[in-house]
Amino acid sequence: MGQGQPAIAGTRRHFLQKPALHQGCQLSHDDAGQLTIDCNDAGVEFVEAVTDHNFLELEDAQFPILELYDGLARVSHHIHHESLEDAALLSIQVTKFKDGAGIAIGVAASHVVFDGHSLWYFLKAWGECCRKERVSLPPLHVRSVLKPECLLEKSKLPTSVKYVPPTPVLPKRPLERGHHRVLHFDASIVQQLKQTAIRESGNSCVTSFQAVMACVWKRVIAALDLSPQHKVCMNFKADLRQRLRPALTEAYFGNALDTLYVNATAGELMQEGVGAIAARIHETIKVLDDQAYIRQRLAVSKEAELDQLLSEVIQGVTQAMFVHHGSKFPVYQVDVGMGKPVAARAPTIHSDTSVVIYPGKGLGSIDVCVRFTKLQNFEAFLSIASPSLDI
């Protein structure tokens, strides 16, 4: 790609009101200050764009993370807007490339409305509609099934909930572009890491995801060269659909997540092998085996604990790694009539504290997207010996 080329040369903006996307919504607050979704038939934003870049050049380079990607999707997170109500709940952008060899479908979606599971099943269903097929997993829109009053005894419900608007504490864009890399873990490496983690930890319940994240977390912390006493924390979301009893159908459309925190020190991660770190992650996730714990978590706000972590990150007390993962999402089953995707990438990674995970193109493979602000940390990351990773 040539220097100085505009990322997006032109756009056209529409609002779709077709059967698959007919019910437009916006966020607002009711008289009591509670956040509500106003279904107003305004439609869903649909943007057509063109770029001067060539698709085949990106494909030949295995789709590295470039500044171009910032322009391939609209912004839907409240930290980029004056108020939460201004952020689009869903926006879709289709970008045509100069060489006509492919397109990019960029999706901006608000977590206020749905989680990653719901988003990808929506995109899969949209593709089925485009191909005039039946929707394989019709969505369940009954939000009440996860309301606290449906899960807890009345005596255990909070007597009141004070609404506190979220405070944007993260930068709208990285102050520096930074240095990005996509780590490709093919299926054989994923299994190798899993078996290593099981052998080292003696725990046969360690999963592929836990083993891969143990490898990445250890490597990131090593590259940052923190003091042994420095606190580190991995933050990620867990899908509760199959953990609830009775299990919640995969068709549930909304948010069915809990936030988990794995805590350690930099020194502990440097001394421990992949197995011990994977066991840390596994033990943290095990709390979700407790049904009473899950129901209690669904009844409380998570803002305070997240604000506390972000405060520690800003003060330099804790080095956090926020994992945005979807290694099991049906990414490569989405087909709007033009063929299935050849890659999935994040439009942007905001800071060194974020890691974005997608399923790889090959069955059982995983793509992990990372970013470092400083070149020396990036080079240190790449220089760490790893088991045949494609980086």
Confidence of residue 28 (pLDDT cuts 50, 70, 90): low
What CATH topology corresponds to 177-383? Answer: Chloramphenicol Acetyltransferase (3.30.559)
Q: What is the pLDDT of residue 102?
A: 94
Average pLDDT over residues 149-176: 47
Mind listing the pLDDT tens digit for each residue in 212-225?
999 999 999 999 99
Axis crossing angle, helix 208-224 with helix 375-383, rounded to the nearest 10: 130
Does 10-151 match 177-383 in CATH topology? Answer: yes
Confidence of residue 25 (pLDDT cuts 50, 70, 90): low
Domain residue limits, the chain: 10-151, 177-383
CATH superfamily, with its number, for domain 10-151 = Chloramphenicol acetyltransferase-like domain (3.30.559.10)
Mapping DSSP to helix (H, G, I), strand (E, B) and coil, where does residue 65 land?
coil
Which of 25-39, 82-96, 161-175, 202-216 is the least confident region?
A: 161-175
Mind listing the pLDDT tens digit for each residue in 364-389?
999 999 999 999 999 999 998 765 45
Q: How many other CB atoms sit within 10 Å of the CB of residue 145?
A: 14
Average pLDDT over residues 20-36: 51
For residues 280 and 215, what is the distance between their CA atoms, to the nearest angstrom? 12
Q: What is the pLDDT of residue 51?
A: 93
Which of 147-161, 283-297, 307-321 is the least confident region?
A: 147-161
Mind listing the pLDDT tens digit for each residue in 32-76?
555 566 666 767 888 899 999 999 999 999 999 888 898 898 765
For residues 22 and 95, what is the distance between their CA atoms, to the nearest angstrom? 22
What's this model's pTM, rounded to 2 decimal places? 0.82
Q: What is the pLDDT of residue 370?
A: 94
Give the helix/strand (H/E) hosting 128. Answer: helix 116-130
Q: What is the pLDDT of residue 36?
A: 62
Closest CA to 234 of 203, 268, 205: 268
Find out whether the peptide bond into 246 is cis, omega within 30 degrees of 0. yes
Mind listing the pLDDT tens digit for each residue in 237-255?
999 999 998 898 999 999 8
Confidence of residue 350 (pLDDT cuts 50, 70, 90): confident
More confident residue, 334 or 113: 334
Query: Would you say residue 291 has pLDDT above 60?
Result: yes
Question: For all residues of the chain together, what is the average pLDDT?
Answer: 82
For residues 29 and 35, what is the distance between their CA atoms, to the nearest angstrom? 5
Which residues, 6 or more positions from 173, have their beta carbon under 8 angstroms from its beta carbon?
70, 348, 350
Q: What is the pLDDT of residue 389?
A: 52
Mind listing the pLDDT tens digit for each residue in 92-138?
999 999 999 999 999 988 887 889 999 999 999 999 999 999 999 99
Q: Please report where in the chains the tokens 């608007």 appear, as a residue.
A: 165
